[in-house]
Amino acid sequence: MDGVRVLPTAKGLTLIFSEGVFSRRAEIAQAAQPVLLNLAKQLRELPAGHRIEIEGHTDSDPVRAGGPVDDNQALGYRRAETVRDFLEEKGGLPALAMTVTSAGESNPPYPNTTPESRRKNRTVVLKLLPVKP
């Protein structure tokens, strides 16, 4: 799928975006919206029995004092919530099939060694997991 790398894992599938989904805040970038809509369309076609875990990520830069969130953990969580709401409202996915978590700045999908990689880490990672019986 364009803009998304799909990695099989022992538990399911992990979907990593090729570019960051967000600017520095928790607003979805215009360029990411069509990718998310296309992804939602494909996820709607999956058989029942799967859930989507949306894990919010940030770059390694500290959050600025006085902003709407206190730290990168909170910013990652807000990003995951934003994507969940977008996938529900615009993509037609059921909210009950999605959970949100935050990795913050830990375990980033890309190394935080260059400005380009830090931009890519302003994102979410989606994990497609089977529902446990």
Length reported for the chain: 133
The pLDDT assigned to 1 comes to: 60
pLDDT digits (tens, 9 = 90+) for 29-46: 999 999 999 999 999 887
Q: Is 70 left (phi over 0), alpha (psi -120 to 50) or beta?
A: alpha
The amino acid sitting at 67 is: G
pLDDT digits (tens, 9 = 90+) for 88-130: 999 999 999 999 999 999 999 999 999 999 999 999 999 999 9
Distance between CA atoms of residues 90 and 104, nearest Å: 25
Global confidence as pTM:
0.93
Question: Cα–chain-centroid distance for residue 105?
Answer: 13
Domains and CATH numbers, the chain: 4-130 (3.30.1330.60)
* pLDDT beyond 80 at 2: no
Distance between CA atoms of residues 86 and 81, nearest Å: 9
% of residues, the chain, pLDDT over 90 = 80
Residue 116 CB partners (closer than 8 Å, separation 6+): none
